[in-house]
Chain A
Amino acid sequence: MSAVVEAPIVQARGVVKDFAAGDESLRVLHGIDLDVRAGELMLVVGPSGCGKTTLISILAGILSATEGEVRVGGRALGGLSARKLAAFRRETVGFIFQQYNLLPSLTAAENAAVPLVARGERLGAAEKKARLVLERLGMGPHAGKQPRQLSGGQMQRVAIARALVHDPAFIVCDEPTAALDAASGRAAMELLRDAARDPHRAVVVVTHDPRIYGFADRLAEMEDGRVTRVLDEPAAIRALSH
């Protein structure tokens, strides 16, 4: 049973994104309207090149929308300077990348502590908090290992710990199961679904993987830079995965 709360953490209204392509501009998002509610795990699905990654980049404050408005936690991102956007990401967003992007020379605990360090905590104190999160995710025995000593599934857990450690209101996750076997992928999604159960947090997952559609509270389907439909009925979502 979903713990979805109606208040949207993320609101996108009429979001348009153009990229320069030589002398011309290429429109990759065509007026996206989307809400992601607190306590919700939303999947964004669609074929390659449909604009999923661009959309989450805008929602996370990495890219700026050409037109339209994005609000996260009630804060409008339009017009924020690069410095303020960086501060917004530091405070509000947790990231899980497809390639994990763990710093190879840091231990799992140090990697998971990076967002806290970026917010101004001492490495030692941040590492302690990160270890607690890693333990919660079953990674306690591996906290002192470097990424090269970990399996893909374990690295994904470290990446999830890193996204959770600073208790962000919004987590964006890009293809979390793309590099994982079925069991590891399911385990990772269970962790993300648990993370989304926090009533003050929303999780958006971009994926190609129909095996994980069943974890979604809602599912937004995209095509050619548009959200073509949003499914919120578990049965309809499950049907899509088959």
Chain B
Amino acid sequence: MNYVQEHAVGAIAWRMLTGDRAKYLGLVFGVAFAVMLMTQQASIFVGLMLRTAAQVIDVTDADLWVMDPRIIYVDETEPLPESALWRVRSVPGVEWAAPFFKALSVARAPDGRLQQVFVLGVDDATLAGAPSRMIEGSVEDLRRPGAVVIDRVGALFIWPGEKGSETGSPRRSDVGRTLEMADRRATIVGTAETSAPFTTFPVVYTRYSEALRFAPPPRKPLSYILVRAQAGEDHAALAARIAAETGLKALPWRQFAWETIRYYLQRTGIPINFGITVILGFVVGAAVVGQTFSIFVLENLRQFGALKAMGVANGTILRMVLLQGAAIGILGFGIGIGMAAAFFEITSRTNVDLRGFFLVWQVAAGTAVAVALIIVGSALLAIRRALVLDPAVVFRT
């Protein structure tokens, strides 16, 4: 079959598809809805899992995290002796190593409102581990006595009546507000954009020495050691060297984040409960796409029979159906992805509880593959009837 014939037959296939506008739009929006369902559910699941490792991901200046060998995820801290810091600093290949404190505390606002918060203590000297996306103030302000930086959304939880940017109205600055933690007064010197933590507690950054005063003091205060590798140093090799020389557990940050996510996947009911929702999203989506397209092909079976009788070859009919499927798939996918992207864009602006959820490109790519497979699969299943169809059917009433 030459190009001209392909083009002309393609034009007929397109007209067959779009001739009945209502049916055509129904098909496209059926696919679009399925795509939105699949991508939205899967992206929320991915976003939820990323939240579990938010505090690892937000530390952008360290290559490695060093911890007690028994720790398997970031929220389970087992304090280290102060001497561990010096031992890590002595390992060849370490550019610098800084202490990192992580604990839960209760913050009390001046109006008496209580809110559980994460207190993260960063190195007094270098401020390693401090937030990288400041909205108000400067990280350097943390050097002032009793200074804390709070995450933007956390402040909304503590002072919920002043939604500010969430509602479009101006919100008074949080800088200068005070909090009380462990009977100590903390002054907010800046706000930062941080990844949403899994538990949605506000995150309060302060210096390591201040953090020990803002949280119930542990017997040993050192939660983690953040390590920057020397230039050109292989992170995995350095982690292995630190582990060998100190007896501690050392992981590249990405691996620690994955181990945290894996913990939540394996030890909590989230993957089962949410995974079922995601799988149902895919199953329902696949069923909608497959069913609508199969029905479309089957409704046109007699027309395909007429074309076969008139000498249109099976291969041409197969290409016509695949072209129709591709058109529906591409249009439906585009609209569905657009709807999912709009959902995340709008909800992340209007609802702080849904921040951190976004359209994951890998999910979009996976959905594209899934839709393509479903369309081709359902087209082939449905077209089988057309291919084996006796063209003499057109002589029967």
Contacts and interface: CB of A to CB of B under 8 A. Distances in A.
Contacts of B165: none
B394 interface: yes
Contact of A95 (B1, B7, B8, B309): B309
Given A57-B395, A62-B391, A97-B395, A123 B12 contact: yes
Interface in A180-202: none
Interface in B12-26: 12, 15-20
B197 to A, nearest CB: 54
B54 to A, nearest CB: 52
Contacts of B311: 86-91, 93, 115, 118-119
Contacts of B390: 62-63
B19 A118 contact: no
Interface stretch (A37-45, A98-106, A150-158): A98-106
A117 B5 contact: yes
Contact of B2 (A57, A86, A91, A120): A120
A152 to B, nearest CB: 14
B394 A120 contact: no
Given A93-B311, A120-B2, A104 B20 contact: yes
A122 B8 contact: yes
Contacts, number: 109
A123 B397 contact: no
Contact of A83 (B18, B302, B306, B313): B313
A105 B18 contact: yes
B9 to A, nearest CB: 6
B395 A106 contact: no
B152 interface: no
A100 to B, nearest CB: 9
A53 interface: yes
A54 B314 CA distance: 22
B279 interface: no
A91 B312 CA distance: 11
A95 B310 contact: yes
Given A56-B395, A57-B392, A126-B8, A86 B313 contact: yes
Q: Which of B9, B302, B305, B391 has the most CB of A within 10 A?
A: B391
B125 interface: no
A121 B307 CA distance: 15
A165 to B, nearest CB: 11
B355 interface: no
A175 B92 CA distance: 94
B9 A99 contact: no
A193 B308 CA distance: 26
B11 interface: yes
B225 to A, nearest CB: 69
B4 A86 contact: no
Contact of A118 (B16, B302, B307, B391): B307
A163 to B, nearest CB: 9
A7 interface: no
A89 B12 contact: no
Nearest to A147: B19
A82 B313 CA distance: 8
B303 interface: yes
B396 interface: yes
A89 B20 contact: no
A97 B2 CA distance: 28
A75 to B, nearest CB: 14
A121 B4 contact: yes
Contacts of B397: 98-99
B289 to A, nearest CB: 21
A201 B149 CA distance: 92
B12 to A, nearest CB: 6
B11 A101 contact: no
B12 A106 contact: yes
Contacts of A56: 395
Contacts of A174: 395
Contacts of A104: 19-20, 303
A82 B307 contact: no
B306 A101 contact: yes
A122 B7 contact: yes
Nearest to B21: A105
Contacts of A97: 306, 309, 394-395
Contacts of B4: 120-122
Contacts of B309: 60, 62, 89, 95, 97
Contacts of B391: 62
Interface in A18-62: 53-54, 56-57, 60, 62
A120 B18 CA distance: 22
B20 A105 contact: yes
A106 B15 contact: yes
Interface of B: 1-2, 4-5, 7-9, 11-12, 15-20, 302-303, 305-314, 316, 390-392, 394-397
The 10 A-B pairs with the shortest beta carbon distances in the complex, nearest first, are A105-B19, A90-B311, A89-B311, A101-B306, A120-B5, A117-B8, A123-B11, A123-B8, A57-B392, A53-B395
6 contacts: A62-B391, A106-B16, A117-B8, A120-B1, A120-B5, A146-B19
